[in-house]
Amino acid sequence: MKSVQDYIRTIPDFPHAGIMFRDVTTLFADARGFRMAIDQMLHPYAGIKIDKVVGLEARGFIMGGAIAHQLSIGFVPIRKMGKLPGKTISQKYQLEYGEATMEIHDDAVTAGERVLVVDDLLATGGTAEAGIKLLEKLGAEIVSTSFIIDLPELGGRKRLEAMGIDVQTLCSFEGT
């Protein structure tokens, strides 16, 4: 029987030499693989109250929408700066070479709402940390974070856990 990891394609030297890009589009394109990933991402939260699913741009939107649908709850996107049309709040974070900014609508969640944050890959944890900080500014309670892939050597899990955040992943790959 195939595992989620079996559906993920590795593309060497993308986007730069020495990077092993973990491509989840092959997982999304396979109905069984995609269903397996969504079911496994939902499993740890059986019986736990979640008010909204929050997806981090961009692949987090794909899983987040499917998870929100399965839970019959709302979905909230956290996007790169300048992509949301309404009033937003923003959070800067560090990239390997430079800085980026994430945004959320200022009315996307209300204080006390319990949210699940999802994305495809946990690397350094910078994007997830920025998303969590935005949600905390709005008063949301982070139930957990859920990722398909963990790259443990890059330290994202440790970074989020040091913030007191629960981290769930479906598989991991060594290297970058």
Mapped onto helix, strand or coil, the DSSP state of residue 19 is coil
Give the residue numbers marked as catalytic.
59, 96
- The answer to whether the beta carbons of residues 148 and 171 sit under 8 Å apart is yes
Q: What angle do CA 33, 3, 59 make, to 5 degrees?
A: 50
DSSP 150-165: E-GGG-HHHHHHHTT-
Owner of token pair 């990077």: 19
* Structure tokens that stand for 176 in this block: 């970058």
* Structure tokens that stand for 141 in this block: 């309670």
- The answer to whether the beta carbons of residues 59 and 24 sit under 8 Å apart is yes
